[in-house]
Chains A and B, each alone.
Chain A
């Protein structure tokens, strides 16, 4: 099976800082991948390199096996890759419907906003996601953090993406909201959407994830199937992993066997 996204030998420098050293990355269709590592391990940089928010200094990015070179997040969005930012990147002064269609509001007669269609479709997306947001007419800033995130996810889903990247999705959520989010992720997986979770909270990744990938100081130091590993091993990789411990999930599986 071809990976939906594959990155090979990615290099990225920020001035004198070598942020990513020869990083390899693979994501299979419908898979939920946890991306973990300490602060400054390069998790966000790797994701931004993938979406085109940063330009890589070396290596290749393949989507569906075809080499690509995204110059901006817009281009990767066109290829079906969506990112949900930690602060959700929503406009609090606008309502749920307007936010879901931010920047691509349905139009008629050229410049006019087709409000009826916008709210209908927003409603449909929310229903598909099975999240509960009182009304599509509600201003986003009057929603709780968890619901704001639901709007951000709904916005991402409305593009019919094949890959969704969550940046620290549970960092600002209550326990209840986290539960709901994990349910939503499972629902998305059922619909065949591959997901990447950048997180510090291993518990969440172990609850919904299929595979976990560990970065340390810009290098691959581990890749394991969730069902074959435990939080202790992953923590050990985060703290004292080396390129030798990297392996691929399948190699690790073979070695364990």
Chain B
């Protein structure tokens, strides 16, 4: 008591608030925006100089801003929602299909109702997956991203839907997307209303306080009686509803949709919230900052997309002509820059806000002594991670079938056999043929290579979301070098491999050196590498490479023939014709990886880091190096797959490797890996990759009906199935392998039987 009595009364506010609280971050953002807008005016006065441009920036900010407001809640909760762009697209699609005279032709009220129901369902699925089924947020929402995108493609068939004429009959709804009587777009008004509401709710209400508490320390919040799961679920409902609102704003503005709606929006929205000062580590973030972040990122997006007017001289039939043109960055570049901005914001935020970096720079500028950098502090005791070995405990002492079923890769092996049999049943005339088997093996190579690398990363307890993009980047590099620069094929392959590997190195350094969660670092690379790849080939398909390069994708016979070593007949010929170079390469890589992971100290270190990183560090294992090299190895495998892709198809398409991260992660998880780390074998991952290959192949199988007609699943739906499989695998791993739901079901039944 005495110590309290002697201390001065603490009634008045502290004399100096931290910079963050007086809005220093927001002021900086505002200054930066003004500078950026100035740059825009300088680059293209015709566009940015007009008031139209200003209101266009605000109008586009409105949609992203609405989502950013809701995303702030999710990020403060220490989570992420990658699905907002897809939900926006899906909602817009559902609205359009219901409303368009060419489709259902319902009233606007019904269309809005359908859209809202879709949005709420999407939010519920995200929220339930994360909170009830314990799926990590980035996996659940990434899958929703692809499923949503797949649904949009499937529902629209990739076509545009427009209803300009009918929209004129419902002015009250469609005026929401247009300029109002006051001279600015109504969307801005909606945005301001949502922002004000969000700001008040997050900063002043119980709901907001609960959000900060859960983000700061979920366990403590739970102990304090806060319904943490509901708080997290609620945030996903907010983002889904915000995406719904944004989708409706979009259709109100455009009176129609394309299947591209909302693509990449999640990147802008998440970048906006982080740029706005929220912490990816949870517990911090403000709605005002997120709104300004949205304006800034949209502005950056616009400045990057806006062309610089130039005068180009062209030669038409010997006559030189001057043509007015716009020099523009290709689309991929914008994506790459946005990815870099996301990573930069994630990196700067802890330095500037938590570490007081800005204050220190300011003090040094004034010649004062800089305040000391606060201690990062050691992490609190990380509880012993005990997940997933129950199946192994069951395997102890089990024999025969039981022992097999208790193996973590049993599911993958059973699945492969079952799927192959399904194929046989559907198309007995074709499925078992040598041709089909050969094609399956080739399709297997790419997925399998990616999964071999991912096995190390996932066993480490990290994740690599960038494998598909790195695959595309390496392929693009090889294609670009050979086609545009005429580089020697082998050198081109080597440089492409090095370029892809460099991506892995960046992932590793961001994760290890700067302490970013692997999913954030590789999410940034997911956009950057794909953007760079598209940029290199300028978004076009390249083909016509030297045949010596394409040999990488041919069979052994052609390779040997190229060197004049072809076998003349007998078994040698049959083998050389059946085995392709890429299968051989995969075999070597997989064998080396399997031995390294299963039999050597390297593998033991990987499992130790994945099981309990702190324990591994105490045991003298260089955990940072293990995680770094795993990420690099994953990128190496992806790069090799990218080079093979180009050689095999004899062409490069910028969409190469799309969804490969889903395929790869699903393969590893089906094959016995755990999304929480510590498990996974190469054999299992290969079996998982085989299962995924078979599923993909079955989905594109032409099924012959009894009446002689045939049916092929439209390829647009593929995303949906692959997404469902990944989520099924993760949920299955968590609930069947780790929690042993089935085992408990049986044991409780037998126990109650005994009681009876």
Chain A interface residue count, CB cutoff 8 Å, equals 32
Question: Within 8 Å CB of A102, what residues of B?
Answer: 608, 615-616, 619, 621
Bound complex: CA A14 to CA B620 (Å): 25
Q: Are B611 and A92 in contact (CB under 8 A)?
A: yes
Of B89-97, B375-383, B636-644, B656-664, the stretch lying at the interface with chain A is B375-383
Overall SS of chain A's interface:
loop
Bound complex: CA A84 to CA B618 (Å): 10
CB distance from B155 to the nearest CB of A (A): 42
Within A103-147, which residues are at the interface with B (CB < 8 Å)?
103-105, 107, 111-113, 135, 137-142
> Contact size class for B?
35 or more
Q: Are B387 and A103 in contact (CB under 8 A)?
A: no
Question: Within 8 Å CB of B374, what residues of A?
Answer: 15
Question: Within 8 Å CB of B611, what residues of A?
Answer: 91-94
Question: Within 8 Å CB of A25, what residues of B?
Answer: none
CB-CB under 8 A for A105 and B604, given A93-B611, A93-B678 = yes
Question: Within 8 Å CB of A85, what residues of B?
Answer: 618
- Contact check: which of A14, A89, A91 meets B375 at CB < 8 Å? A14
CB distance from A107 to the nearest CB of B (A): 6
Bound complex: CA A74 to CA B372 (Å): 30
Q: Are A113 and B620 in contact (CB under 8 A)?
A: no
Question: Within 8 Å CB of B621, what residues of A?
Answer: 102-103
Question: Within 8 Å CB of B620, what residues of A?
Answer: 74, 77, 103-104
CB distance from B601 to the nearest CB of A (A): 5
Question: Within 8 Å CB of A94, what residues of B?
Answer: 604, 607-608, 611, 678
Bound complex: CA A110 to CA B605 (Å): 15
- Contact check: which of B385, B600, B677 meets A113 at CB < 8 Å? B600
Q: Are A90 and B612 in contact (CB under 8 A)?
A: yes
Q: Are B615 and A113 in contact (CB under 8 A)?
A: no
Q: Are A91 and B389 in contact (CB under 8 A)?
A: no
Question: Within 8 Å CB of B383, what residues of A?
Answer: 87
Question: Within 8 Å CB of A135, what residues of B?
Answer: 396
Question: Within 8 Å CB of A138, what residues of B?
Answer: 393, 396
Question: Within 8 Å CB of A90, what residues of B?
Answer: 384, 612, 615
- Which residue on A lies nearest to B396, using beta carbons? A138
- Contact check: which of A73, A92, A113 meets B604 at CB < 8 Å? A113
Most buried by B among A15, A92, A112, A140: A92
Within A28-52, which residues are at the interface with B (CB < 8 Å)?
none
- Which residue on A lies nearest to B397, using beta carbons? A135
Question: Quick check: is A174 within 8 A (CB to CB) of the other chain?
Answer: no
Question: Within 8 Å CB of B389, what residues of A?
Answer: 92-93, 139-142
Question: Quick check: is A199 within 8 A (CB to CB) of the other chain?
Answer: no
Q: Are B384 and A141 in contact (CB under 8 A)?
A: yes
Bound complex: CA A39 to CA B599 (Å): 45
- Contact check: which of B372, B390, B603, B612 meets A89 at CB < 8 Å? B612
Question: Within 8 Å CB of A89, what residues of B?
Answer: 612, 614-615, 618-619
Bound complex: CA A142 to CA B388 (Å): 9
Question: Quick check: is A206 within 8 A (CB to CB) of the other chain?
Answer: no
Bound complex: CA A87 to CA B621 (Å): 18
Bound complex: CA A106 to CA B677 (Å): 24
Question: Quick check: is A170 within 8 A (CB to CB) of the other chain?
Answer: no
CB-CB under 8 A for A98 and B384, given A15-B375, A73-B618 = no
CB-CB under 8 A for A139 and B618, given A87-B382, A111-B602 = no
Q: What are some 23 contacts across the A-B interface (CB < 8 A)?
A: A15-B374, A73-B618, A74-B620, A77-B620, A86-B381, A90-B612, A91-B615, A92-B389, A93-B385, A93-B389, A93-B610, A93-B611, A93-B678, A93-B679, A94-B678, A102-B621, A103-B616, A105-B604, A111-B600, A111-B602, A113-B601, A139-B392, A141-B384
B residues apposed to A, CB below 8 Å: 372, 374-375, 381-390, 392-393, 396, 596, 599-605, 607-608, 610-612, 614-616, 618-621, 677-679
By Cβ-Cβ distance, the 6 closest A-B pairs, closest first, are A91-B611, A103-B619, A93-B678, A139-B389, A142-B393, A141-B386
A residues apposed to B, CB below 8 Å: 14-15, 73-74, 77, 85-94, 98, 102-105, 107, 111-113, 135, 137-142, 148
- A sample of 4 more A-B contacts (CB under 8 A), given A93-B388, A105-B601, A107-B601, is A77-B620, A93-B677, A102-B619, A139-B392
